[in-house]
Amino acid sequence: MNPTVTELLCPITLELPIDPVIAEDGMVYERKAVEDQLQLRKKSPMTNLPMGDQLLVAKHVTNIMQSLLESGVNDDRLIAWQKAKKLKELKEMEVQKRREKLKQMDPAQVKQLLLDHIRRCKSDKCLCCMKLKKRATSRRR
């Protein structure tokens, strides 16, 4: 285990951050992990002191991890980070393709596609369905 890699671990997930951010306590976290933590309580996960929710992109952390990989550092955590990062990039590309496809459809086609999705979707955590259900309930009020 490389000590530099260990220093870059998110203290919440204990993994290398795919989307690293610097929080107001000066620590580097995985964005989603620290956002979830701050929704529960407005305290630093490291110091337990009050902390705001402003986060800054920590591009330098990504650059360091990439440099370590390129320089041949052999650490399983780096390899797992690289795979997770590529998977995230592929998912983002797929989302972009779907958005482009939706832009080319007429509104009636989009509406039918959404209705078909809602009928088939069984997930309680589907963002698409949650937004549509929220919109529907707010119209009823």
Calculate Rg over the CA atoms of the chain.
Answer: 20
pLDDT tens per residue, range 112-130 = 888 888 788 777 777 777 7
Region 93-104 average pLDDT:
87
Pick from 106, 12, 121, 9: which is nearest to 64 by CA? 9
Kindly give, in sequence order, each residue whose CB lies less than 8 Å from that of residue 75, ignoring residues fewer than 6 positions away. Answer: 1, 2, 5, 68
Which pLDDT tens digit goes with each residue over 75-96?
999 999 999 999 999 999 998 8
Kindly list the domain boundaries of the chain, sorted by start residue.
3-104, 105-141
Q: What is the pLDDT of residue 127?
A: 76
Superfamily (CATH H level) for 3-104: Zinc/RING finger domain, C3HC4 (zinc finger) (3.30.40.10)
Q: Distance between CA 9 and CA 24 in Å, rounded?
A: 17
Given a cut of 60, whether residue 3 has pLDDT beyond it is yes
pTM beyond 0.75? no
Residue 20's Cβ-count burial label (10 Å; 0-12, 13-18, 19+) is buried
Residue 113: the pLDDT is: 82
